[in-house]
């Protein structure tokens, strides 16, 4: 049977929340999609764009009679919000989020909801350097990977509802517990982002004429640093929320870069370096191809 | 007046050499384009594809009566080849190359040619993960940046001929001395490449299930590591030839990554981190847009 919410509340109607609203409405997966947020103007715009049916800035009003709440807030805001939301969520409602860091937020949500709601963390890997509801698209999740992050406390019905919702909007669902998710994301998303930023900082610290730098930066540099153009405030939250795992990944990268540093330019290490370069090229070539754009 | 070579010898008819041959022939910039290489089969293929008029595996035969030699060999091979080529190059001929590391090679060429030839180093920043003459295109250099790297010993006529040749095939010519070129490339090309390789190595060293890694690696990781898929043997030569400058760039990057490592997850550093992320995003946004593909 197709998933059908009676009243699905989307808290935060930016790129992800707006796109999810559009997708739920387009596929008739909810009777009413209710947008909840701080800015009435932004909510009105979301309604104009077809992302929500109803809107309110009042959480209690939004959640009355709701059977689903999807929180689409930045990671730090998300973690701090569960305490205020939990008492307003009707018993048995499905609750999830789209945050890109899970461990702390999931633990906090489980503390606040106890057994009252069907809570599970989600992380759809979709998005782009764009942000805001203007960039939202009903097909944003199609073909994207989406993590759901159950723990031993997660009710089975939360797992199945989340899997049906995300696959219903076109995502490929992957399962990992919150700690493992955060380690994976540290390596696959947060470390590459931070490294892109550090590459830009390194090149500019070199003090070469900025104009020349801009003119000759080739596609290699542009590809490697594309993700450095993301939303600064969002990424600071992501880095901070995932600091322990990201520090481990950074330690690993720094060790490997230091190893390379010591091997460079020694004739006797040439064959070993070629082998390492070949192995990385093979591994890189095996990555699933996928939509362009930038997941957080 | 348009540049017109009588007999232009292209040593090495792979992606760059083949593309240059096509471009010179298409624009009637040479009476005869002669392909010189080790493999007759590869040279025949280059002729079939329209990259050269004539071909030979004999350097003396190729260079007899030549007024231009463009060496399109990998960096280490290039540097070691000047000694053998110099005695065969007719007096006053124009000589350049397409190597992505310049300091050692240019110094060696100047030692070997003395004042007999119009030598100058070149580095067209064009190419892709592809290699070989099958990937060659007559418009490869259009819109690409191309360094020419004069030294105090470079004859004026070498500078003007190189500038006319590269702008004649559509490149934007930039000038830097060999040491500065190598420093710039260390930061803008070699460091990003090495970092992409190190990111792949770091993520795989994490020991998470390879299948999951492949399935969920998002576009951020794919962009950041795209250049890791380059030609391993070529990149080992580039790294080794540019080892001193690349080590300096690596030291800079490692320092910056270590700084980030220590700042992560401290509430009091949040504002400073947002500011750094914003600055990098701005700088990244100011880079000249350009063709995709991968310069070496």
Rounded alpha-carbon distances, angstroms, from residue A68 to A65, A115, A178: 9, 15, 21
Q: Is A163 helix (H, G, I), strand (E, B) or coil?
A: helix
Number of inter-chain CB pairs under 8 A, A vs B: 311
For residue B288, count CB atoms less than 10 angstroms from its CB and return exposed for 0-12, middle for 13-18, buried for 19 or more: middle
Across the interface, whether the CB atoms of B202 and A249 are under 8 A apart is answered yes
| pLDDT for the residue numbered B268 | 86
Q: CA A121, CA A104: separation in Å to the nearest integer?
A: 11
Task: Mutate one of A125, A181, A196, A202 to test the B interface: name it (highest B CB count within 10 A).
Answer: A202
- Distances in Å between the Cα of B32 and the Cα atoms of B9, B89, B132 are 8, 16, 21
Q: Which chain B residues have a beta carbon less than 8 Å from that of A247? A: 261, 264-265
- In percent, the amount of chain A with pLDDT more than 90 equals 77
In A114-171, where does DSSP find H-type helix? Answer: 156-168
| pLDDT surpassing 80 at residue B128 | no
Q: Which residues have C-beta within 8 Å of that of residue B113, sequence separation ≥ 6?
A: B82, B86, B89, B95, B119
* Cα gap A122→B241, rounded to integer Å: 47
B197, B233, B239 ranked by CB distance to A264: nearest = B239
What's residue A227's pLDDT? 84
When pLDDT is averaged across residues A234-262 and rounded to a whole number, the result is 95
Of A71-80, B24-33, B162-171, where does mean pLDDT reach its minimum? Answer: A71-80
pLDDT at A52: 98
Q: If you average pLDDT over residues A253-280, what whole number do you get? A: 92
What number is the average pLDDT over the span B214-219?
A: 70
Q: Order of strands across the sheet with A5-11?
A: A54-56, A30-36, A5-11, A68-71, A94-97, A118-119
A158-178 pLDDT per residue, tens: 999 999 999 999 999 999 999
Residue B228, pLDDT > 90, answer: no
| Sheet with B68-71, edge to edge strand ranges | B54-56, B30-36, B5-11, B68-71, B94-97, B118-119
Which one of A147, A264, A278 would you mutate to disrupt binding with B, by most B Cβ within 10 Å of its Cβ? A264
Please judge whether A197 and B285 are an interchain contact, meaning their C-beta atoms are less than 8 angstroms apart.
no
Mean pLDDT, range A37-50, rounded to an integer: 97
CB distance A214–B145 less than 8 Å? no
User: In this structure, what DSSP letter does residue B28 have?
Assistant: T
Residue B266 pLDDT:
83
Average pLDDT over residues B160-176: 96
Statement: residue B179 has pLDDT above 60:
yes
The percent helix, strand, coil of chain B (3-state, each to 5) is 55, 15, 30
- Least CB–CB distance from B125: residue in A184, A218, A223: A218
pLDDT at B211 over 80: no
Give just the sign of the alpha carbon dihedral A154, A156, A161, A166: positive
Is B239 a residue whose pLDDT tops 80?
yes
Q: 3-class SS at A45? A: helix
User: Which residues are A146's β-sheet partners?
Assistant: A124, A173
Percent of chain B with pLDDT over 90: 77
Q: What is the ipTM metric for this complex?
A: 0.85
Closest CA to A227 of A254, A182, A187, A190: A190
Q: Chain B contacts of A286, Cβ < 8 Å?
A: 214
Which two three-digit tokens encode residue A257? 């870069």
β-pair partners for A7? A32
Distance CA A68, CA A83 (A): 17
pLDDT at B246 over 60: yes
Mean pLDDT of chain B: 91
Distance CA(A71)–CA(B252), nearest Å, equals 40
Instruction: Check residues B292 and A215 and name the one with the higher pLDDT.
Output: A215
Handedness of CA B76, B58, B231, A212 (dihedral sign): positive
Cβ neighbors of A160 (< 8 A, separation 6 or more) are none
- Cα separation, B81 vs B109, in Å, equals 9
Segment A60-90, tens digit of pLDDT:
999 999 999 999 999 889 999 999 999 999 9
What pLDDT score was predicted for residue A230? 82
A261: pLDDT strictly greater than 80: yes
């Amino acid at each position: 049977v197709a998933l059908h919410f009676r009243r699905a509340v989307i808290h935060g109607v930016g790129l992800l929340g707006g796109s999810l609203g559009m997708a739920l409405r387009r596929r008739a997966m909810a009777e009413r999609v209710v947008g909840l947020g701080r800015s009435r103007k932004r909510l009105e715009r979301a309604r104009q764009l077809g992302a929500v049916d109803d809107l309110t800035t009042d959480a209690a009003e939004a959640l009355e009679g709701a059977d689903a709440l999807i929180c689409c807030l930045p990671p730090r805001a998300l973690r701090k919000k569960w305490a205020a939301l939990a008492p307003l969520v009707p018993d048995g409602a499905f609750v999830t989020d789209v945050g890109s860091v899970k461990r702390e937020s999931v633990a906090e949500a489980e503390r606040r909801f106890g057994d009252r709601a069907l809570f599970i963390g989600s992380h759809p890997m979709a998005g782009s350097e764009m942000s805001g509801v203007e960039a939202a698209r009903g097909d944003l999740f199609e073909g994207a990977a989406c993590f759901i992050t159950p723990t031993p406390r997660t009710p089975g019905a939360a797992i199945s509802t989340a899997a049906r919702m995300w696959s219903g909007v076109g995502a490929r669902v992957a399962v990992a517990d919150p700690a493992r998710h955060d380690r994976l994301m540290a390596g696959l998303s947060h470390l590459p982002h931070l490294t892109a930023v550090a590459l830009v900082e390194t090149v500019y610290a070199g003090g070469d004429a900025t104009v020349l730098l801009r003119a000759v930066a080739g596609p290699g540099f542009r590809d490697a640093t594309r993700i450095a153009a993301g939303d600064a405030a969002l990424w600071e939250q992501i880095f901070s929320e995932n600091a322990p795992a990201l520090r481990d990944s950074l330690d690993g990268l720094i060790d490997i870069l230091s190893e390379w540093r010591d091997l460079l330019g020694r004739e006797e290490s040439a064959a070993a370096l070629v082998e390492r370069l070949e192995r990385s090229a093979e591994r890189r070539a095996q990555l699933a191809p996928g939509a362009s754009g930038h997941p957080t």
